[in-house]
Structure 1
């Protein structure tokens, strides 16, 4: 049992080390040697855990989305708040995370979508699964908000959730280009309109 735990810890250590490096320079911009040196793992050990760099990238995304979705579930179930308030808290956390210079916290979906979708079908599908799971959770929260009366949407909850996620992906990319919070502030306004919420 201890051996399995050690193997699991080593594999997770490689993934954890890669987050900051890949978040800073992208998937193609970081070599395996750098990741393994930073993780303190011999190069020969890498292929014991991952069959290729592509398989490693797929595993990195799967691990990222598992953690992300757990945090999202917590945010969307925060007690004492309406579903509208929980959703707005999620977007504010998104802004705080994407506006940070801490690459460990950056959204890998934002960072890698354009880069790897044309390079790796496996990684593209990992991104597709992860983002679909996010949108599904947002859709359920929107539907619950409509039912409780804390928000209103002109479309169905699934379409509203897709629109919102697309707005925030775009805002994150533009914020990287202009290096300012203007795109996020615009996204907040658009989000409030989509959810039928008054201006603060």
Structure 2
């Protein structure tokens, strides 16, 4: 396949975003300079503003790609044919735990790393995170509704409230796991998750 200038430009842009996602998941948004990202991506410094109007615009693009990939992976996890919904939900939280336990989570824990930081720095990035996390909660709520219908899960609250509570629970557990540097917060989160969904331990 012959690459066009448009295709090459898109690939360079995607590479900058992917490299930035990995670095910022480890160091945060403010601590990472454009030079580090562009050097790692192998892109000349002067080229950055061809692809992005500003660092904030870059951050917005980075978060949009992150959530697009995250939601696609979540859909696969929650909608495995022939698998009870309860199993898909537990698989999702197990995967969350595994990703967060990496000292370098390879760009898979961006909300935990950047959420509080960029919400105070950039309104467009805050709104992108708000929209992305709303998409996650909506998918969890839909899964809980399906699980209730099939009988693999049961919740005392409305599905949307249960989904929101579980997502916030795991965000908090992720922060505390970083503070304590152990897995106890995830153990507690999983116990509570099973209680909320009325699943055996």
The bucket for the TM-score relative to the shorter chain is over 0.9
- The reply to whether residue 33 of structure 1 matches residue 41 of structure 2 is no
Alignment of 1:52-131 (within 5 A): 52-131=54-133
1:107 CA drift (Å): 1.1
On the 8 A contact 1:14/1:39 being kept in 2, the answer is yes
**Residue 143 of structure 1, aligned match among 142, 145, 156:** 145
- Per mean C-alpha deviation after superposition, the further-off stretch among 30-39 and 103-112 is 103-112
Distance 1:85 1:196, change over 3 A: same
Partner of 2:184: 182
Quick one: distance in 1 between partners of 2:105 and 2:21? 8
Quick one: distance in 2 between partners of 1:46 and 1:163? 39
**TM-score normalised according to structure 2 size:** 0.97
On the 8 A contact 1:19/1:103 being kept in 2, the answer is no
Quick one: distance in 2 between partners of 1:103 and 1:84? 26
Quick one: distance in 2 between partners of 1:148 and 1:20? 39
On the 8 A contact 1:97/1:105 being kept in 2, the answer is no
Structure 1 residue ranges without an equivalent (≥5): none
Instruction: State the number of aligned residues.
Output: 199
1:100 CA drift (Å): 1.4
1:79 CA drift (Å): 2.3
Quick one: distance in 1 between partners of 2:5 and 2:189? 48
Q: Which runs of 4+ in 1 moved over 6 A?
A: none
**Residue 162 of structure 2, aligned match among 150, 155, 160:** 160
1:102 CA drift (Å): 3.0
Secondary structure at the counterpart of residue 139 of structure 2? helix
On the 8 A contact 1:76/1:83 being kept in 2, the answer is yes
On the 8 A contact 2:23/2:32 being kept in 1, the answer is yes
Root mean square deviation of aligned Cα: 0.9
**Residue 171 of structure 2, aligned match among 165, 169, 172:** 169
Structure 2 residue ranges without an equivalent (≥5): none
Quick one: distance in 2 between partners of 1:14 and 1:41? 8
1:177 CA drift (Å): 0.4
1:103 CA drift (Å): 2.9
On the 8 A contact 1:110/1:173 being kept in 2, the answer is yes
